[in-house]
Amino acid sequence: MRLERKHQKKRRLSLTVAIVSFVGSFLTLMLLFTYWVTPRISIIGFHGVVDLTNPSLGAILNPTAQRMAYPMQDLEKLLEYLVRSNYWFLSAQEMQDFFVEKSQPIPAKHKGQKPIMVTFDDSYKTVYTNVIPILERLERQYDRKAKMVLFINPGTLAKPDRPSTTYLSCKDLRSGYEKGYYDIQSHGQNHKNLTKISDSELLEELIQAQTQLRSCMAGLAPDEAIAAHLAYPYGDMNDHVAETASKYYHSGYLYNSKVMRFCWLKDHYRIDRLTANRDKPVDRLIQMADRAMEIKSDRPCSK
Positions touching Zn ion (CB under 5 A) are 121-122, 233
Residue 80 amino acid letter? E
- At residue 194's C-alpha, the angle toward residues 188 and 199, to 5°, is 105
Identity of the residue, 39 or 235, whose beta carbon is nearer to Zn ion in the bound complex: 235
For the bound state, the minimum distance from the C-beta of residue 187 to Zn ion, rounded and expressed in Å, comes to: 6
Identity of the residue, 71 or 155, whose beta carbon is nearer to Zn ion in the bound complex: 155
For the bound state, the minimum distance from the C-beta of residue 205 to Zn ion, rounded and expressed in Å, comes to: 12
For the bound state, the minimum distance from the C-beta of residue 155 to Zn ion, rounded and expressed in Å, comes to: 12
Other residues' Cβ atoms within 10 Å of the Cβ of residue 7: 10
Beta-ladder partners of 230: 186, 252
Which of these, 193, 208, 276, lies nearest to 238 by C-alpha position? 193
For the bound state, the minimum distance from the C-beta of residue 90 to Zn ion, rounded and expressed in Å, comes to: 20
Identity of the residue, 46 or 98, whose beta carbon is nearer to Zn ion in the bound complex: 46
For the bound state, the minimum distance from the C-beta of residue 129 to Zn ion, rounded and expressed in Å, comes to: 19
Identity of the residue, 194 or 292, whose beta carbon is nearer to Zn ion in the bound complex: 194
Residue spans of beta strands (DSSP E) within the chain:
43-46, 49-50, 70-71, 88-89, 115-121, 148-152, 182-186, 229-231, 251-253, 274-275
The span from the CA of 291 to the CA of 189, in Å, is 34
Identity of the residue, 113 or 193, whose beta carbon is nearer to Zn ion in the bound complex: 193
Which of these, 99, 105, 183, 197, lies nearest to 148 by C-alpha position? 183
The span from the CA of 114 to the CA of 91, in Å, is 14
Which of these, 294, 254, 246, lies nearest to 273 by C-alpha position? 254
Identity of the residue, 154 or 233, whose beta carbon is nearer to Zn ion in the bound complex: 233
The span from the CA of 11 to the CA of 183, in Å, is 66
For the bound state, the minimum distance from the C-beta of residue 42 to Zn ion, rounded and expressed in Å, comes to: 19
For the bound state, the minimum distance from the C-beta of residue 107 to Zn ion, rounded and expressed in Å, comes to: 32
Cα dist. 133→72, 162, 181, 202, 229 in Å?
A: 11, 24, 11, 36, 26
For the bound state, the minimum distance from the C-beta of residue 167 to Zn ion, rounded and expressed in Å, comes to: 12
Identity of the residue, 94 or 121, whose beta carbon is nearer to Zn ion in the bound complex: 121
Which of these, 92, 47, 42, 99, lies nearest to 233 by C-alpha position? 47
For the bound state, the minimum distance from the C-beta of residue 92 to Zn ion, rounded and expressed in Å, comes to: 16
Identity of the residue, 94 or 122, whose beta carbon is nearer to Zn ion in the bound complex: 122
Identity of the residue, 63 or 160, whose beta carbon is nearer to Zn ion in the bound complex: 63
Angle between helices 170-178 and 199-216 (to 10 degrees): 60
The span from the CA of 234 to the CA of 241, in Å, is 13
